[in-house]
Amino acid sequence: MGSHIDFGYNPPSGTRGIEEFPAETFVRDLQDVLDLAAQAFSSLWVSDHLMTEQPFRMDVWTQLTWIAAHYPGPLLGTIVLSNSYRHPPLMAKMAASLQQFSRGRLIFGYGAGWLEREYQAYGYEFPPASVRIAQMVEALQLMRAMWTSSPVTFSGKYYAVHDAYCEPRPSPLPIVMIGGDGEQRTLRAVAEYADWWNTVMRPLPVLRHKLEVLEQHCRDVGRGYADVRKTLTRTVFLSRNRAEAERRAGARLESPLPPFAGEPAALVDHLRELHDLGFDLFQMVFADFPGTADMRLFIDEVLPHFR
């Protein structure tokens, strides 16, 4: 038996070829998979994109609200919201409302946004990363003020509210998770404003370095490093035979951020390596959606090692 680790499931919000998987089947496909996932995973996650490689995407907040209503058990997370896409005072109201409707299950995953062509397509300004991160930080300050005081007047460089009510205020406060691993600004924001941190898979020495940078930022701001929960999103191709898993993963194995491709025992060892670094929650992406073979193999032969 291994040490305790929590696992979430991150289903797609789209990214499907319309011809191969028509849009009208998506909700049915999603429900079929979530009926299985909600019984095995402690949290369910939705990413925030308006369009990516394929044009078909569902809105993150609408999808998460639908999941909240259909699946009353798991925690509910955004992985992660782009600050640029919704006016932060309105976002504070939306989050407070979903926290109430879901009976306190929201993990408010937040980030500075990054996909420039998506911004341009939808008519959003795309300022430099330093500005987007500063806007994210100010937005988090504003939203926390709205969640904890009433009414709120806030005047910042980018956002302002005047005698604003966010009632009912969320109780408990949503868990705030910041996504991203830029060392100067984003990890500093994690140390100052986040309960949890989310990153993506990188070579182990790189992840170790990122964690060291985060630890130093925590020291600089007087924060306990252990108080920040470390989470990692992991895409997997899982088969009983490694060659078969690698065949299915194909060219993605040559990408800058390759998925895991292998058999269950190797995945157990891989997750334990990441746990040894300090990660104790993994948001799992199973690349064969709407199929469930990978997920069922994970539930049957990987999860028991961490229970």
Q: CA-to-CA distance for 208 and 95, rounded, in angstroms? A: 32
Contacts of 209 (CB under 8 A, 6+ apart): none
pLDDT at 42: 98
pLDDT at 16: 59
HSE on the CB side for 87, CA within 13 Å? 6
pLDDT at 1: 34
Can you spell out the DSSP letters for the chain?
A: -----EEEE---SB---TTTS-GGGHHHHHHHHHHHHHHH-SEEEE---S--SSS-B--HHHHHHHHHHH--SSEEEES-EEGGGS-HHHHHHHHHHHHHHTTS-EEEEEE----HHHHHHTT-----HHHHHHHHHHHHHHHHHHHHSSSEEEE-SS-EEEEE---SPPSSPPEEEEE---TTTHHHHHHHH-SEEEEE---HHHHHHHHHHHHHHHHHHT--GGGSEEEEEEEEEE-SSHHHHHHHHGGGGGSSSPPEEE-HHHHHHHHHHHHHHT--EEEEEETTTT--HHHHHHHHHTGGGG-
β-bridge mates for residue 56, sequence order: none
pLDDT at 90: 98
pLDDT in tens, the chain (307 residues): 345 899 999 998 876 555 565 677 889 999 999 999 999 999 999 999 998 877 788 999 999 999 999 999 999 999 999 999 999 999 999 999 999 999 999 999 999 999 999 999 999 999 999 999 999 999 999 999 999 999 999 999 999 999 999 999 999 999 999 999 999 999 999 999 999 999 999 999 999 999 999 999 999 999 999 999 999 999 999 999 999 999 999 999 999 999 999 999 999 999 999 999 999 999 999 988 989 999 999 999 999 999 8
Q: CA-to-CA distance for 149 and 146, rounded, in angstroms? A: 6
Record the tokens describing residue 231, joined without a space: 């989470």
Instruction: Tell me the CA distances in angstroms from 193 to 56, 203, 304, 305, one per residue in order.
Output: 33, 26, 34, 33
Cβ–Cβ < 8 Å for 261, 248: yes
Domains observed in the chain:
6-306 (3.20.20.30)
pLDDT at 3: 56
